[in-house]
Amino acid sequence: MDFDMLQARLGEIARATSSNFQKLPGSAMIVRYIQSSYQNDPVRSAIELVLVLFFIRYLMSPSYSTHKQNFVKLQEGEIEELIDEWTPEPIVADRTAVEEIENERLPVIVGPTGPKVKLSNGRTAFNLASYNFYNFNSNEQIKEKAIQTLRTYGVGPCGPPQFYGTQDVHEKAESDIASYLGTEGCILYAQTFSTATSVIPTFCKRRDVIIADAAVNYSIRKGLEISRSNVRWFKHGDFNDLERVLKAVANEQAKSGKLTRRFVVTEGFFEITGDVTDLPRLVELKEKYKIRIILDETWSFGVLGRTGRGLTEAQNVDPQQVDMIIGSLAGPLCAGGGFCAGSKDVIEHQRITSSAYTFSAALPAMLAMTTSESLKLLQSNPDILVQCRESIRALRAQLDPRSDWVVCTSSVDNPILLLVIKPEVVNARRLTADDQEKILMECVEESLANGVMITRLKTRPYANAIAANDWTLQPALKICVTSALSKKDIEKAGITIRHAITKIMTKRSNKAI
Amino acid sequence: MNDRSAGGRRRRSSSILQVYHEPPETLEQMSDQAVVPNMNANWTNQKGAWTIHIVIIAALKILYDVIPGSSQEASWTLTNMTYMVGSYIMFHYVRGIPFDFNGGAFDNLNMWEQIDNGAQYTPTKKFLLSVPIVLFLISTHYTHYDSTYFVINFLATLAVVIPKLPFSHRMRFSFFSDIPEEE
């Protein structure tokens, strides 16, 4: 009896459920689907059923992260303890003994800078320590224009180039540089130093190969570091060694079947040795091994060539053969900032992806204007360069062959004369880099005491930069020629420097004996 | 440069099929990945990105229907195949990121592994897995459970479902070649 009732009840529930189910929207479709899907094919139906069940399981699973927790969870007490224990490191490290001495004796200029400067101790000196090769610094025409621009545009553009920072003067300066160099386009950067540092990572990324000269400057080294690329080095100025590295890279890539972009980075005039790159040979290698060239013309732009167009003009290379030409506007042009010139695509790519361009305020308008004016002067009057070269020759004649102690590593056209202590002297006296640094510092002082201000190559940053294994940096004196001084003055200055070096070296040798 | 890590890929003797996993990212790579939000993968979380799958499937169906002489079976199978091939290429074949903000830090990861920073069973991943499964069930239904069409559609579905499963996260196969070495 009870059993019958239960059965009737169950039947009722089943009927109610089924009628409820039929009331659901779409239920008829599901019934039809299930009825038609079986089709007397149990294997296929089972596969579908498994797929559906798996699908439901996937939808039900809770989400989780696949990254391992890379931090330790600390208790409140532990955190307090760590904070108490912590002593901050000084933001700026204490000065070393050398820095202390350096700072003490730093000459201070009173009034405007120029070929002859007044020092804070009341004396005047020849200034052979600024990159003011053509004395555009005191050019009235440029000054006038700069002041005018300052009055109309204000000091800073108050924004990055892509964010209201670009003004007509910037575009004019860019097109001026591009037409001066003979490239399709040009992009202005606000700082010379960050130009190379930013251009390199814009184009190179992980797994790309960059082959760099062992003696490239600090700015390039920073760029190589940030680019995350695979950096190889070749011996300074040795293109046979470069070819060896290129062959090795080509072999490796052929073997692994993975082609990447390949770049060669080098400088026009090298900042730390002063010599010049053989560009035609480099272009030849570029064609042979399919590489891109990044040429840093920071020190050769506005200096080399008949009208100062740089290395490409001096060595008769089509500037469009060089993929990226990086240059400075801060040196001889007496403006500020840097630029990168190249094909249109190369330039437009930088406008959105180069970090120093997108994240830094644009170049002040007056500096862009100064750039245009300086270039105009250089183009209209190539005599400026001829005069400067005569001064270089006059100064060099007093120093390089005549001095018993130092030798000039710079190329003959380079207005920056880098003097290093002769290798035989270094070997005979067993001078370490620090010793040389000290000697050169004394030479700088001695020469300043006799009325000629010169400076030294700054070697300290290179201690922390990436470098080839067997590469060492030799400390050097840095003497910057200026064509504003008469030939007589230049010669006098050269003699003073030579005597200062001799005095220090002989004094030292006497002491050593 | 510093991408080499202790738990990197290990060389094994050469054989027909090699299975290995992408090594975990180094600290340098992780910091490069975090420079900007991953624009290559983040858009998949948006409503429009979900809707577009259905729209594309409908458009494909219409396209194959208007081809003269195509049967319902062929048209559903072609729609299914096209979607599976397309989504396989997009989510599992192409690696890296089309933007230049990370210095190549995503070069080893396909789009599926970049979505939601590699997390599993997230709503987007659940949706993206459900689309091929539902499409498969529909297309087998409308191909009237013909066994040939069933096999074709089923294999195509497996090809996009298996790489989406958590166990195949960062898993790589190499045929007749050595495991690529990190430089």
pLDDT tens, residue by residue, B120-144: 999 999 999 999 999 999 998 888 8
Q: Which of A44, A47, A228 sits opposite B103 (nearest CB)?
A: A228
Name every chain A residue with its beta carbon within 8 A of the beta carbon of B107: 205-207
Give residue B178's pLDDT: 65
Hey, is the C-beta of B150 within 8 angstroms of any chain A C-beta? yes
CB contact under 8 A, A256 and B180: yes
Four-way CATH pick for A97-136+382-510: 3.40.190.10, 3.90.1150.10, 3.30.1490.20, 3.30.70.1560: 3.90.1150.10
- Determine the Cα–Cα distance for residues B154 and B137; give it in Å rounded to an integer: 9
Whose CA is closest to B29, among B126, B107, B132?
B107
Give residue B59's pLDDT: 96
When pLDDT is cut at 50, 70 and 90, the band that residue B1 belongs to is very low
Give residue B8's pLDDT: 47
Which residue(s) pair with A453 in the sheet?
A127
Give residue B183's pLDDT: 45
CATH 3.90.79.10 fits A155-380, yes or no: no
A263's enclosing H/E stretch is: strand A262-267
- For residue A203, the chain B residue with the least C-alpha distance is B100
Helices A27-38 and B123-142: angle between axes, nearest 10 degrees? 60
Q: What is the pLDDT of residues B16-32, one digit of tens each?
A: 788 888 888 888 888 88
Which of A32, A36, A58 to mutate against chain B (most B CBs within 10 Å)? A58
CB contact under 8 A, A206 and B105: yes
Helices A192-203 and A218-227: angle between axes, nearest 10 degrees? 30
Q: What is the DSSP letter of A69?
A: P
- Determine the Cα–Cα distance for residues A150 and A152; give it in Å rounded to an integer: 6
Give residue B16's pLDDT: 79
- Give start-end residues of each CATH 3.90.1150.10 domain in chain A: 97-136+382-510
Whose CA is closest to A134, among A303, A281, A21, A304?
A303
Q: Distance from B12 to chain A by nearest Cα, in Å?
A: 16
- Determine the Cα–Cα distance for residues A180 and A125; give it in Å rounded to an integer: 35
Which residue(s) pair with A210 in the sheet?
A231, A263
Hey, is the C-beta of B137 within 8 angstroms of any chain A C-beta? yes
With beta carbons less than 8 A apart as the criterion, state whether A344 and A197 touch: no
- At residue A455, the 3 state secondary structure works out as strand
Name every chain A residue with its beta carbon within 8 A of the beta carbon of B157: 51
B132 Cβ neighbours under 8 A, 6+ residues apart: B83, B84, B87, B157, B160, B161
**pLDDT per residue of chain A (513 residues) written in tens, 0 to 9:** 577 888 888 888 888 888 887 887 878 877 777 777 777 778 888 888 899 999 999 999 998 888 777 778 888 999 999 999 999 888 888 888 878 888 888 889 998 888 999 998 889 999 999 999 999 988 999 999 999 999 999 998 889 999 999 999 999 999 999 999 999 999 999 999 999 999 999 999 888 999 999 999 999 999 999 998 999 999 999 999 999 999 999 999 998 888 889 999 999 999 999 999 999 999 999 999 999 999 999 999 999 999 999 999 999 999 999 999 999 999 899 999 999 999 999 999 999 889 999 999 999 999 999 999 999 999 999 899 999 999 999 999 999 888 889 999 999 999 999 999 999 999 998 888 888 988 999 999 999 999 999 999 988 888 888 888 888 899 999 999 999 999 999 999 999 999 999 999 988 776 654
Hey, is the C-beta of B176 within 8 angstroms of any chain A C-beta? no
Q: What is the DSSP letter of A53?
A: H
Record the pTM: 0.82
Contact map slice: B 3-32 vs A, CB within 8 A: 3, 24, 28, 32
Q: Distance from A253 to chain B by nearest Cα, in Å?
A: 11
CB contact under 8 A, B28 and A228: yes
- Determine the Cα–Cα distance for residues A371 and A300; give it in Å rounded to an integer: 16
Q: Distance from A206 to chain B by nearest Cα, in Å?
A: 5
Amino acid at B123: P
Hey, is the C-beta of A359 within 8 angstroms of any chain B C-beta? no
Hey, is the C-beta of B146 within 8 angstroms of any chain A C-beta? no
Residue B12 has pLDDT above 70, yes or no: no
CB contact under 8 A, B100 and A353: yes
Handedness of CA A141, A142, A146, A147 (dihedral sign): negative
Give residue B2's pLDDT: 43
For chain A, give the longest Cα–Cα distance.
Answer: 135
Hey, is the C-beta of B103 within 8 angstroms of any chain A C-beta? yes
- For residue A56, the chain B residue with the least C-alpha distance is B130
Give residue A507's pLDDT: 84
Give residue B179's pLDDT: 64
Residue B182 has pLDDT above 60, yes or no: no
C-alpha angle B131/B133/B139, rounded to 5°? 100
Hey, is the C-beta of A353 within 8 angstroms of any chain B C-beta? yes
Give residue A261's pLDDT: 92
CB contact under 8 A, B120 and A63: yes
With beta carbons less than 8 A apart as the criterion, state whether A214 and A235 touch: yes
Whose CA is closest to A371, among A319, A336, A341?
A336
Instruction: Give the distance, in angstroms, between the CA of residue A513 and the centroid of all CA atoms in the same chain.
Output: 46
Give residue B18's pLDDT: 82
B180 Cβ neighbours under 8 A, 6+ residues apart: A256, A258, B9, B174
Q: Spell A101-129 as b/e; 16+ CB within 10 A means b.
A: eeeeeebebeeeebbebbbeeeeebbbbb
Q: Which of A44, A228, A231 sits opposite B104 (nearest CB)?
A: A228
Residue B5 has pLDDT above 70, yes or no: no
Label each residue of B5-43 as H, E or C: CCCCCCCCCCCCEEEEECCCCCHHHHHHHCCCCCHHHHH
CB contact under 8 A, A64 and B120: yes
Place of tokens 């498969």: B136
Residue A131 phi/psi, 5-degree rounding, is: -85, 40
- At residue A326, the 3 state secondary structure works out as strand
Both ends of chain B: CA-CA distance in Å? Answer: 7
Give residue B4's pLDDT: 43
Q: Percentages helix, strand, coil for chain B, rounded to the nearest 5?
A: 55, 5, 35
Contact map slice: A 169-228 vs B, CB within 8 A: 201-202, 205-208, 226-228
Residue A326 phi/psi, 5-degree rounding, is: -105, 135
- For residue A70, the chain B residue with the least C-alpha distance is B27
- Cβ neighbourhood burial of A334 (10 Å; 0-12, 13-18, 19+): buried
Name every chain B residue with its beta carbon within 8 A of the beta carbon of A256: 180-181
A276 Cβ neighbours under 8 A, 6+ residues apart: A268, A269, A270, A300, A304, A311, A314, A411, A413, A414
Hey, is the C-beta of B136 within 8 angstroms of any chain A C-beta? yes
Residue B120 phi/psi, 5-degree rounding, is: -105, 160
CB contact under 8 A, A66 and B181: no
B76's enclosing H/E stretch is: helix B72-88
Name every chain A residue with its beta carbon within 8 A of the beta carbon of B122: 63
Whose CA is closest to A275, among A471, A411, A422, A478?
A411
Whose CA is closest to A490, among A163, A127, A162, A185?
A127
Whose CA is closest to A314, among A390, A382, A395, A215?
A382
Q: Which of A47, A205, A231 sits opposite B104 (nearest CB)?
A: A205
- Determine the Cα–Cα distance for residues A4 and A234; give it in Å rounded to an integer: 98
Hey, is the C-beta of B120 within 8 angstroms of any chain A C-beta? yes
Q: Which of A63, A201, A227 sits opposite B121 (nearest CB)?
A: A63
Amino acid at A205: K
Name every chain A residue with its beta carbon within 8 A of the beta carbon of B169: 66
Ramachandran region of residue B171, left (φ > 0), alpha (ψ -120 to 50) or beta?
beta
- For residue A39, the chain B residue with the least C-alpha distance is B145
